[in-house]
Amino acid sequence: MSPAGTRQGPIRRVVIVGGGTSGWMAAAALARLAPRDVTVTLVESDDIGTIGVGEATIPTLHDFNALLGIDEDQFVRQTRATFKLGIQFENWGQVGETYIHPFGVHGRTTPEYKFHQLWLRLAHEAGEDAARRAAIGDLADYNLGAVAARLGRFDRPRGGSDSVLSTIRYAFHFDAGLYARYLRNYAERGGVRRLEGVVVDVAMRPDDGFVQSVQLRDGRVVEGDLFIDCSGFRGLLINQALGVGYVDWSRYLPCDRAVALPRRRVAPPDPFTRATADLAGWRWRIPLQHRMGTGYVYCSEHLEDQAAADRLISQGDGEPLAEPRHLRFTAGHRERFWVKNCVAIGLAGGFIEPLESTSIHLAQMGVARLMMLWPECSFDPAEIDQYNTATRLEYEQTRDFIVLHYKATRRDDTAFWRRCAAMEIPDSLAHKMALFRSGGRVFRFHDDLFTEDSWLAVMLGQGVMPRSYDRLADSLDRDQLARNMARLKAVTLQAAHALPSHETFIQTHCAATPDRIAG
């Protein structure tokens, strides 16, 4: 527990060290929510590159943009974004298998019955009967987002709660650098001051060890009451100045490298991210309005850097627009995210890996949690402990969902996938998988990031089939249930066919201007 600070009174000066997506998210939120007498200074250098490859998001970004009052069509145009209905996973269960993890809900759950339990009952009763199984279909056939993604169609949700069109949930693919620029413009209009410069020294208060100021290369000194570390993997404040250690999760998440490569887009943009399991990791494919983002996340123990780059180049379509960019990381998080008067947000606080696009969300929640626990200069240890406990739990819950993808593989064609299938997993995930294998039950805490529908999509998509189902579903008449399910499946398919194509929707509502596309 950190000792309470010796100062009293409200926070007056906030210093954000580092820009990028996380830094400017913090700055924009402070511009919107901080008391008027608080000055916010962000220090960043154009000489220090940002990671900026995380171009896919999850639906929680809507909450952040809504908080700022951002017009969505303008945001999409400015960031050259496209829409994302989910993630298509290829070759994860076995080579040749494909499934979609969609946003939104599967079917219609009632107070009496979970929808997936009704589906499981019919699937179990069908057994090996191919015709009956085809009639039932996959669980994803009852999710409008999944069906629309397969068809390349998109629309925003509309209609009342009784309409299948209201069940669409979506996120975005965007240029992370343009999003940071967009947020910078917002923050500076709200009074945030940006200082260009490289931090070369951090001064600590001699009486209590709190951060007092940062010094820039040109000699300028920036003092503050609260410091937000958004300096990326370096952890300039949280790690180098305050010495906070790192919780290493590489035993669960062995991928530790990535290579990214932008390409010319040669086909209409899909309304989903594609994640293709490969020899020693997986490859991403993220369509933007002006280009295609591609990359390979891999384990360096099983694949050399040059081999990974060669593999990425050979497996993609479209002309490369830059040289491959290599990144190194260790999955995990800081032992504490908030220490004394310093809060680490974004990569300075931790990094799980790009699968399921959680990095921007975790930065967003770090900012939101800081605003909920906005401190005074005394920095109450109880508030700091609450922040650290909640953030650590969120990282652990997110970790479990990501590890599931690797553990639930049935591949044995490479040493990497054999390692993943055999590895030990956290007890919390082992329990969740055992519970699902038994009777198809998914229990989650109310604040878990990933919904029951998300867990269902990945477990069933990768072949984790329950041995049984909730026998309360047997109380329904089997023939009537089958007819109702067939009707819902047909309505979902019909609704998806009626949606405009993804490309048409963008061109109609939010296409980037030609000069912006060219730029």
Catalytic residue annotation? 84
Distance CA 69, CA 336 (A): 32
Tell me the two tokens of residue 451.
Answer: 């919904």
Q: Indicate the burial class of 426 (C-beta count within 10 angstroms; 0-12, 13-18, 19 or more).
A: middle
Is residue 178 a contact partner of residue 307, using CB atoms and an 8 Å limit?
no
Tell me the two tokens of residue 169.
Answer: 């949930």
**DSSP per-residue codes, 235-273:** -IIIIIIT---EEE-TTT----EEEEEEE---SPPPSSE
**Residue 356 zone, left/alpha/beta (φ > 0; ψ -120 to 50; rest):** left
Distance CA 271, CA 56 (A): 11
Please name the amino acid found at residue 386. Answer: Q
Phi, psi of 39 (to 5 degrees): -95, 135
Q: Is 179 helix (H, G, I), strand (E, B) or coil?
A: helix
C-alpha dihedral over 355, 359, 364, 368, to 10 degrees?
90
Distance CA 279, CA 302 (A): 8
Residue 191 sits at the vertex; the CA angle it makes with 189 and 197, to the nearest 5 degrees, is 100
C-beta atoms surrounding 493 within 10 Å:
18
Buried/exposed 330-347: b ≥16 CB within 10 Å, e otherwise: ebbbbebbbbbbbbbbbb
Residues 6+ apart with CB under 8 A from 491: 164
What SS3 string covers 448-499?
CCCCHHHHHHHHHHCCCCCCCCCHHHHHCCHHHHHHHHHHHHHHHHHHHHCC
Tell me the two tokens of residue 92.
Answer: 């994860």
Q: How many secondary structure helices (H) and strands (E) does the chain include?
A: 16, 21
Tell me the two tokens of residue 339.
Answer: 């220490």
Distance CA 347, CA 327 (A): 13
Distance CA 57, CA 1 (A): 34
